[in-house]
Amino acid sequence: MEKFYSVRMRASKERAHEQGGKHISGGEQIAAYENVRESIIALLDKALTHTRGKPDFLQIQFDLIDEPIRKLEPLPLATNKVETVEEGRLMARNLLEKSGVPRACIEKAFLQITEFFGHRGAILFDIQSNQRVDHPNEKSVRVSRMDWPTDNFAQWADHHAVPRSKRIKEALVLATKVNRNRTTVAELCWSDDPEYITGYVASKKLGYQRITKLKEVGDEHGCRIFFIDGKRDLSSYIEYLEKQPIFIEWDPRLIDNSTALK
Ligand code: PML
Ligand code: MG
């Protein structure tokens, strides 16, 4: 069996993340041994050229994946055009509700949203208790060990007339891993990159729903919230997010499987 390595990067400014530094950039790849060098260089470039600033702490590590890599079909993608942040956020709330997040829970999360800015990982918000549950250390959760082989992504992107953008690829990889899991009800995300204002709501039910404006240009506040069903086992869910290796693989024979969500 071919061996694969998880390659990951994190970069921050002033101090390391755990010492309160400002998050600059993070990245995940899975590579065969002969491609590890290329992955490290790609992640290094990502960290050194980020619009959030020059990092002064950077860590890149790789480790052997010694368990089978599970394959998942990418979530179907749709793009919703909006003109203003207000319209975009209203649309996000509506998509979350359609995905099965109760209205009261959405309102509570939006009231607290400024507390969820600036984390390098994701916030877990429980729809049963209406509160954040990735406490007590406030570290947030980093989804890791996932990738989408370049050729297959390019085929998928060309077929769907989506730009071959690394950012879209990385976001869809993460959203697919997270939202194919039963504990996740829906995800809300927008970037902390001041120049990037498109974000998304994703869920099993609605797929990956891009929203073209969720914040103003120049705003460095981003967020990533997983609305989860807290009746399920939280520790095995976090274990899945952090440890389960995933490859996204699009099967061109399933041409537009928008109704075939698992
Ligand atoms: C990020 O930059 O960290 C998140 C980007 C989310 C949206 C990507 C897209 O579909 O355009
Ligand atoms: Mg980012």
**261: confidence class by pLDDT, cuts 50, 70, 90:** very low
Kindly give the distance from the C-alpha atom of residue 2 to the centroid of ligand 1, in angstroms, as a whole number.
Answer: 31
Which secondary structure element, helix H or strand E, spans residue 131, and what is its range?
strand 131-132
What is the overall mean pLDDT for the chain? 93
User: For atom 9 of ligand 1, which residue has the closest CA?
Assistant: 168
Position 257 pLDDT exceeds 80: no
Among protein residues, the one with the nearest Cα to ligand 1's atom 2 is 191
Please tell me if the CB atom of residue 198 comes closer than 6 angstroms to any atom of ligand 1: yes
Share of the chain above pLDDT 90, in %: 86
Nearest CA to ligand 1 atom 5: 191
Instruction: Please check whether residue 46 is in contact with residue 96, taking contact to mean a CB–CB distance below 8 angstroms.
Output: no
208 CA to centre of ligand 1 in angstroms: 11
Ligand 1 neighbour 193 (Cβ under 6 A): yes
**Nearest atom within ligand 1 for CA of residue 77:** 10
What pLDDT was estimated at residue 137?
A: 62
| pLDDT score, position 136 | 57
Choose the residue to mutate in 81, 143, 148, 168 for probing ligand 1, maximizing ligand atoms within 8 Å of C-beta: 168
Cα–Cα dist 133/10, whole Å: 24
Ligand 1, atom 3: closest residue by C-alpha = 191
- Indicate which residue's Cα is closest to atom 7 of ligand 1: 199
Q: Is the pLDDT confidence value at 260 over 50?
A: no
pLDDT band at 171 (very low <50, low <70, confident <90, very high): very high
**Residues 236-240: what's their mean pLDDT?**
95
Query: Which ligand has its closest atom nearest to the C-alpha of 170?
Result: 1
Give the number of the atom of ligand 1 that is nearest the alpha carbon of residue 196. Answer: 2
pLDDT of residue 255: 65
In this prediction, residues 212-216 reach a mean pLDDT of 98
Tens-digit pLDDT profile for residues 110-140: 999 998 898 889 999 999 999 999 865 667 8
Which of 17-31, 77-91, 131-145, 229-243 shows the lowest mean pLDDT across its residues? 131-145
Contacts by residues 215-222 (CB-CB < 8 Å, ≥ 24 positions apart):
215/85, 215/190, 216/85, 218/194, 219/194, 220/52, 220/192, 220/193, 220/194, 221/114, 221/117, 221/118, 221/192, 222/117, 222/118, 222/189, 222/190, 222/191, 222/192, 222/193
Interval between CA 218 and ligand 1 midpoint (Å): 15
Least trusted range by pLDDT, from 17-21, 175-179, 188-192, 245-249: 17-21
Instruction: Name the residue with higher pLDDT: 17 or 61.
Output: 61
Q: Please compute the mean of the pLDDT values over residues 95-108 and round it to a whole number.
A: 97
Answer yes or no: is pLDDT of 239 > 90.
Answer: yes
- Report which bound ligand comes closest to the CA of 175: 1
